[in-house]
Chain A
Amino acid sequence: MSVIPAPFSYHRPKSIAEATALLAEHNDEARILAGGQSLIPMMKFRLAAPEHLVDVGAIAELKGIQRVGDALVIGAMTTQHELQLSKTATDAAPILKEASLLIADPQVRYMGTLGGNVANGDPGNDMPAVMMCLDAAYRIMGAAGPRTVKARDFYEGTYATALATGEILTAIEIPVPPAGHGYAYEKLKRKIGDYATAAAGVVLTTRGGRIATCAIALSNLADKAVLATDAAATLIGTALEKPALDKAIAAARAIMSPAADTRGTTEYRTAVGGVMVERALRRALARAKG
């Protein structure tokens, strides 16, 4: 056997234009290499065998975190570590740092990028759910020019996203949530480095101690990150009292369909998925001011 990838050609473009040209040239035979923390293991197992690897690590335009008015714009090649160190990002949306710190382990976070995490389409990644909670939008560049897709519309299934062949996710644009918003990301995992057994993110605002707006999203509890809209709607105007809370958790569980795997049975992962939702809601509410 082996943990050795099949032969491939390696490209390291210096600009987005150069990268999209390479992608257009090689089409389905090319894959984008961001931090490599998902793709390289898959290549080593020969589950992925791209003939051309387009390493976008040298493209300066893909880096950086900026506050632009009411939006936070994060370059796709920003590493998790850089994200965690960014005061701009943490001040604007502290859930980013909270969730980022729960990803894999420090070694992976030094290399792994935010763009890779959201664009790969792995339901086990944490940032897609966070971006859904924040109602982020992804800036995409392709041969046909730029376009923007909302995180909530981006995910289609396991490794299936709205990103077309030849396109690159260049940046993530996050509408900065109001001051005093509540947030939490709850992740149950077996150990450092593991994907979630179940995880839930919550971003909410309150008025008079009651929930005014609420977004709940789930990681690794379906074939893609999912937004629990019914669950969130149930909670508007409440302070998580029962039976509204129980109804919300039941609504969240209703959209969960985790695979049975070594982390547990479908039943278990659904049950603890509900527990994660409840705990995230309680922590988010406790943090909210308003």
Chain B
Amino acid sequence: MNIAVPTREQREAKLEGMGCKRKRVEDIRFTQGKGNYVDDVKLPGMLFGDFVRSQYAHARVKKIDDSKALKVPGVLAVITAETLKTVNLAWMPTLAGDVQMVLADGKVLFQNQEIAFVVAVDRYAAADGVEAVEVEYEDLPVLVDAFKALAPDAPLLREDIKDKMTGAHGPRRHHNHIFEWSMGDKDLTDAAFAKAEVTTKDVISYHRTHPSPLETCQCVASFDKIKGELTVWGTFQAPHVIRTVASLLSKIPEHKIHVIAPDIGGGFGNKVGAYPGYICAIVASIVTGKPVKWVEDRIENLTATSFARDYHMTTEIAATKDGKVTALRVHVLADHGAFDACADPSKWPAGFFNICTGSYDFPVAHLVVDGIYTNKAPGGVAYRCSFRVTEAAYCIERAMDIMAQKLGMDAAEFRLKNFVRREQFPYHSALGWEYDSGDYHTAMNKAMEAVGYKQLRAEQAEKRAAFKRGETREIMGIGISFFTEIVGAGPSRNCDILGVAMFDSCEIRVHPTGAAIARMGTKSQGQGHETTYAQIIATEIGIPADDIMVEEGNTDTAPYGLGTYGSRSTPVAGAAIAMAARKIKAKAQMIAAYMLEVHEADLEWDIDGFRVKGLPEKSKTMKELAWAAYNSPPPGLEPGLEAVSYYDPPNMTYPFGAYFCVMDIDVDTGVYKIRRFYALDDCGTRINPMIIEGQVHGGLTEAFAIAMGQEIRYDEIGNVVNGSFMDFFIPTAVETPKWETDYTVTPSPHHPIGAKGVGESPNVGGVPCFSNAVNDAFAFLGTRHIQMPHDYWRIWEVAKGLGLHG
């Protein structure tokens, strides 16, 4: 009998390693409704907690009367700030160095702020209990408008720190001021503006919105009084950080806290922070001795847990008459709501906003960010973007279009003229970053060719002429964005969260039969880690991806990591995987050398094992080596085949992309149609092209939503006017445009496999692209900057302002 020897291609294909469009293994359970989410956790005797929330955006809480609530059948307890004070938990630290009320302590600072936590035998009783709690308020003047926050007579919001004029990030100059953060060289920038030939200055606002994952924030806390152990199941993007924070706050030793993040139904930054619900569920479990579940409803999620954006960016560009940028100056008014609960690395109060020089070679730049308090929900988180990178990309990409318009230059040509050139990498930006790699001109030219840019402009010119002749009521916009992201936080020299350095980790155990398990410090919320991580290992050590299980989310078994957000999983944990795999490979090489009786240096790696150089028939597969590692290791070598790696990245990674949008707008209704959207992404080495495509589709859909109408909007007395999915724009398949995706590959030079991360690029690059399309459509009629979001009625208002309705 002849046994067919598999070809190299067959061996390679069997691995389903990097570059393979491997189907997502997690979808087998997700598509059958067999995922295991927090709300699926059901424990004997489990109680339910529900919040009484503030009806006012700013008020003194005069009295909380729980007597009627406690009479509701099934209600066991009503926890208030007074209860929490007995365990010193009425306030909690935020990730941004501020403090935040867990439950209203004397006053409320935003609508739907948590006032009391009703604990009952089931959700129904808890809801009835919530309704029966009577709260007496005395309303206070409300501050909603960020531009009025620093007025001398602005209402005092944070009485707790009114005399504390130094915050976590330096001096505060007003009772509603949180911090001032600056980067770059002011004097050089001012000098460049003083002698500039052409300048622009525009207030470019990025409205408040919300990550709105379909699964809301939730947890189950179970305190075992006998063992003194606390177990918390929760929707945590960073379970280890939650464990550390829980230990610091509760004084329960960290080894007695078990944090488990089961399957998560989307996070997008919303599930990074710590919320009052977690604290209250834990306290309620300690008080009652029973497990307590807390599940946020949709309105609570949209109005109380972390929002995103709310940046007002005064952006100035200086340029020469022939279109060379000479300086950038940005001032940001950053609205954090009632508490600075921004989920940024500790030293970065405005995240990595200083990536705002974008893809362009600005010789000098200066940035100042002022953080302020208002009567809105606290935050804000990075909604599918690295910390404040979406805001930065929006501000520079809008401002570049505005400058191109002022110069009378084509927006694409203006960008090409100012890109950082390939030979300038690693590139040191004027605001302090070292861009690892890029080839912007190649990407831009490829994109322009793919969309037929010249023809589009010609068509647009014809349509504009027809519009002016009154032959059509439709105008055409071409949106361009060329973004540079900064992801993979991050190097311990500049990134930590509450003092914990932002490394990440991987532990790989290869079993005797050659199958393996990898445990990670990150936590997928839908990104497909179980699929892609296995592919990295498959390529690195020659074990088929199908034989590798990836496990995340259990802090007892997973190595310590900082979690998943800011597109950091591939740049940081992906590197840890490769490094751990290489340790295994090194040991396997020693074993192979012993078995094949050659020197290690005489071996070479060949897809799924080692072979002797020049004697390819003398080889050992990884499967054989795994068995030997346990059962017949070389003398002096300890048995087993496993490795752990903690990876502290030397630098961030800098994915980039070129996006184009073609949009037609009906000026009579403000209704737009996205005729075409093309996205070219360069995320370095591509691990799973299918997952990348899916990530790009998802991110673009969110970007589309944000640019075209998704906002958290407050009325003048601080009520959220669109706190449900009836009004908060989540596009369905019907509204979502068709996406065309494309790519170039510029590997990261410092990452072990050259990968850069992609999950957030489409949100970062997509928003300015849509907004630029709207702006471009109207530009020929004399507009300069149209604020987002661009929902139908606001687009119509622009047309009306231009006198287009007769």
Contacts and interface: CB of A to CB of B under 8 A. Distances in A.
B395 interface: no
A2 interface: yes
A208 interface: no
A254 interface: no
Contact of A4 (B51, B124, B800): B124
Given A2-B126, A2-B130, A268-B796, A188 B726 contact: no
A46 to B, nearest CB: 7
A272 B796 contact: yes
Nearest to B805: A271
Find the residue from A105, A263, A268 having the highest chain B CB count within 10 A. A268
Interface string B728-744: 01011011000000000
A192 B792 contact: no
Contacts of B671: 188
A272 B796 CA distance: 9
Contact of B127 (A4, A190, A191, A194): A4
B131 interface: yes
A66 interface: no
Interface string B114-158: 000000000110111011000000000000000000000000000
A4 B126 CA distance: 10
A265 interface: yes
A191 B130 contact: no
Interface in A1-49: 1-4, 6-7, 46
A197 interface: yes
Interface in A41-68: 46
Contacts of B709: 190
B112 interface: yes
A5 to B, nearest CB: 8
A7 B128 contact: yes
B195 to A, nearest CB: 45
A131 to B, nearest CB: 24
Contacts of A3: 297-299
B793 interface: yes
Interface string B274-298: 0000000000000000000000011
Interface in A182-209: 188, 190-194, 197
A3 B791 CA distance: 28
A262 B112 contact: no
Contacts of A268: 670, 793, 796-797
Nearest to B296: A1
A1 B51 CA distance: 5
Contacts of A111: none
Contacts of B669: 188, 272, 275
Contacts of A264: 791-793, 796
B734 A192 contact: yes
A6 B792 contact: no
Contacts of B727: 262
Contacts of A105: 732
A273 to B, nearest CB: 10
Nearest to B124: A4
Contacts of A190: 709, 729, 791-792
A174 B130 CA distance: 47
B53 interface: yes
Contact of A262 (B722, B735, B805): B722
A2 B127 contact: yes
A265 B794 CA distance: 9
B547 to A, nearest CB: 41
B606 interface: no
Given A46-B131, A188-B671, A191-B731, A2 B796 contact: no
Contacts of A7: 124, 128
B732 A192 contact: yes
Find the residue from B299, B300, B726, B735 having the highest chain A CB count within 10 A. B726
Contacts of B131: 2, 6, 46
A207 B522 CA distance: 72
B51 A263 contact: no
B128 A1 contact: no
Interface in B629-649: none
Contacts of A262: 713, 721-722, 727
A191 B732 contact: yes
A1 B732 contact: no
A275 B799 CA distance: 15
A275 B669 CA distance: 7
B370 interface: no
Interface string B382-401: 00000000000000000000
Interface in A218-244: none
B729 A191 contact: yes
Given A190-B709, A190-B792, A1 B735 contact: no
A1 B299 contact: yes
A275 B800 CA distance: 14
A268 B671 CA distance: 12
A106 to B, nearest CB: 11
A225 to B, nearest CB: 20
A265 B791 CA distance: 12
B49 to A, nearest CB: 11
B446 to A, nearest CB: 33
A2 B123 contact: yes
Contacts of B130: 1-2
Contact of B793 (A46, A191, A265): A265
Contacts of B39: none
Nearest to B725: A193
Nearest to B130: A2
A266 to B, nearest CB: 11
Interface in B517-556: none
A272 B721 CA distance: 22
A265 B797 CA distance: 10
A188 B50 CA distance: 38
A263 B298 contact: no
B112 A263 contact: no
B668 interface: yes
A192 B725 CA distance: 11
Contacts of A265: 793, 797
Interface string B300-312: 1000000000000
B123 to A, nearest CB: 6
B735 A191 contact: yes
Contacts of A2: 50, 123, 126-127, 130-131, 297
Nearest to A267: B800
Contact of B792 (A46, A197, A261): A197
A259 to B, nearest CB: 12
A275 B721 CA distance: 26
B805 A1 contact: no
A7 B793 CA distance: 40
Given A190-B791, A191-B732, A262-B721, A271 B299 contact: no
A4 B123 contact: yes
Interface string A70-94: 0000000000000000000000000
Contacts of B51: 1
A1 B112 contact: yes
Contacts of B729: 190-191
Interface of A: 1-4, 6-7, 46, 105, 188, 190-194, 197, 261-265, 268-269, 271-272, 275
20 contacts: A1-B53, A1-B130, A1-B297, A2-B50, A2-B123, A2-B126, A2-B127, A2-B297, A4-B124, A6-B128, A188-B669, A192-B735, A193-B726, A261-B721, A264-B796, A268-B793, A268-B797, A272-B670, A272-B792, A275-B669
Given A2-B130, A264-B793, 11 more contacts: A1-B130, A1-B299, A3-B297, A4-B123, A188-B671, A191-B734, A192-B734, A193-B726, A262-B721, A272-B668, A272-B792
Interface of B: 50-51, 53, 112, 123-124, 126-128, 130-131, 297-300, 668-671, 709, 713, 721-722, 726-727, 729, 731-732, 734-735, 791-793, 796-797, 800, 805
Minimum-distance CB pairs A-B, first 5:
A264-B793, A2-B127, A4-B127, A262-B727, A268-B793
